[in-house]
């Protein structure tokens, strides 16, 4: 079975286990969920690292040749230096966790969030940008720690070329296109200019001919989303895409963790960051492709799952098609038909996670 590495906010690390037993604490008894725990080493867990700040929050890109995981911190504030996000690399063989060189996350990939492995030595990372720095997608070369922009402009002239604050990204297993979500969280949280485009799901083709960073390679795939967040393809066939919509938490005081009922009751109309009537779902879309095999459009939007605690943040899919999502009380797991299987519990919630192959039957 694959190992599940949780990225947890608030003094974060891997923390979904009972320290007395070294086993995962769980909720739910569906046979398919229990089967995950019966696999070799199933249910065993350990803490890889912890800090006294929100150092493991988002991302989760695994590099098999290095047996290492790239991840990003939550938003950190440092006085006059302003808000920033730190990128780190965890070596799963040694347990060593190192922050990447400061120039990368201070100057080149500012306010990083989601990331995805692209090659054995590179990842594509979302940059939410700042008031001064443009947002977009950037390629990080792990070997020599260099960065190059992938796309930092939209094809819409009226939008002055600005994305909002790209949140998460995934590689299409068929065409190599990059699908990424672009909610306006950066503006709502005060570190990005007013939005020039909607809260949309985009596709960008980094392999198509033409100049690098050609905004014309971008296309909008979905626009009827309030806060598009996590994104993932179903297994390796590329025929279905999952997108989480976290509009239930609008983002001014963004906490992708548990949402106490007291906040809903506390003057929801004017003071609360909770929007009780807004979506807190994972949507499934069918993928339609053109003659080249590229994602042409998405159709048949439907609700795939709604978590019982908080909102669905990051999404990952295992080899059997099970869907994992970070929620208010840990990591919820759903079968590919949307049936709830169970939750790996964490009382402070989980923004994102990464599945790490362990054994010949995993990918």
The contacts found for 38-42 with CB under 8 angstroms, 24 or more apart, are: 39/1, 40/1, 40/359, 41/1, 41/3, 41/358, 42/1
In a domain, 263, yes or no: no
The whole-number pLDDT of residue 192 equals 94
The whole-number pLDDT of residue 161 equals 81
In a domain, 259, yes or no: no
In a domain, 143, yes or no: yes
In a domain, 45, yes or no: yes
Query: For residue 317, what are the β-bridge partners?
Result: 323
Quick: pLDDT tens for 136-170.
999 999 999 999 999 999 988 665 789 999 999 99
Buried-exposed string 233-260: b where 16+ CB fall within 10 A, e elsewhere: bbbeebebbbbbbbbbbbbeebbbbbbe
Let me know: does 299 contact 230? Beta carbons within 8 Å.
no
The pTM for the full model equals: 0.89
The whole-number pLDDT of residue 34 equals 87
Distance, CA of 116 to CA of 353 (rounded, Å)? 12
Structural domain including 283 reads 2-254+272-357
The whole-number pLDDT of residue 47 equals 82
In a domain, 267, yes or no: no
Neighbours of 303 (CB within 10 A): 12
The number of domains in the chain is: 1
In a domain, 262, yes or no: no
Query: For residue 71, what are the β-bridge partners?
Result: 59, 88
**Two tokens at 292?**
């080249």
Q: Which residues contact 235 (CB under 8 A, 6 or more apart)?
A: 317, 319, 321, 336
Quick: pLDDT tens for 41-77.
566 777 888 888 888 999 899 999 999 999 999 999 8
Please report, for the domain that includes residue 123, its CATH number. Answer: 2.120.10.30
Let me know: does 111 contact 143? Beta carbons within 8 Å.
no
In a domain, 264, yes or no: no
Give the chain's residues under pLDDT 70.
1-20, 39-43, 78-80, 157-159, 208-215, 252-272, 359-363
């Amino acid at each position: 079975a694959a190992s599940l590495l949780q990225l947890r906010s608030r003094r974060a690390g891997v923390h979904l286990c009972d320290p007395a037993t070294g086993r995962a604490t769980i909720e739910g008894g569906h046979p398919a969920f229990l089967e995950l725990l019966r696999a070799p080493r199933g249910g065993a867990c350990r803490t890889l690292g912890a800090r006294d700040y929100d150092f493991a929050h988002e991302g989760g890109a695994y590099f098999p040749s290095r047996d290492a995981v790239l991840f990003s911190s939550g938003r950190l504030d440092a006085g006059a230096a302003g808000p920033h996000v730190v990128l780190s690399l965890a070596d799963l063989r040694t347990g060593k966790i190192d922050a990447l060189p400061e120039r990368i996350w201070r100057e080149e990939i500012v306010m990083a969030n989601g990331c995805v492995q692209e090659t054995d030595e590179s990842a594509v990372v979302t940059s939410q940008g700042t008031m001064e720095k443009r947002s977009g997608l950037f390629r990080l070369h792990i070997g020599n720690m260099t960065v190059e922009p992938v796309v930092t402009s939209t094809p819409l002239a009226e939008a002055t070329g600005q994305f909002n604050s790209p949140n998460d990204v995934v590689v299409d297993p068929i065409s190599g296109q990059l699908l990424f979500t672009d909610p306006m969280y950066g503006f709502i949280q005060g570190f990005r200019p007013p939005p020039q485009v909607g809260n949309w799901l985009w596709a960008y083709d980094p392999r198509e001919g033409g100049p690098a960073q050609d905004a014309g390679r971008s296309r909008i795939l979905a626009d009827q989303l309030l806060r598009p967040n996590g994104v993932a393809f179903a297994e390796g066939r590329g025929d279905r895409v999952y997108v989480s919509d976290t509009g239930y938490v609008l983002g001014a005081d963004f906490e992708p963790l548990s949402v106490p009922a007291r906040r809903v009751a506390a003057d929801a109309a004017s003071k609360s960051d909770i929007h009780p009537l807004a979506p807190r779902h994972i949507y499934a879309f069918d993928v339609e492709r053109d003659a080249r095999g590229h994602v042409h459009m998405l159709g048949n939007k439907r609700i795939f799952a709604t978590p019982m605690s908080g909102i669905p943040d990051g999404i990952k899919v295992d080899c059997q098609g099970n869907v994992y999502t970070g929620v208010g009380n840990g990591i919820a797991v759903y079968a590919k038909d949307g049936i709830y299987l169970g939750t790996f519990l964490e009382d402070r919630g989980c923004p994102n996670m990464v599945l790490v192959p362990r054994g010949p039957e995993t990918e």
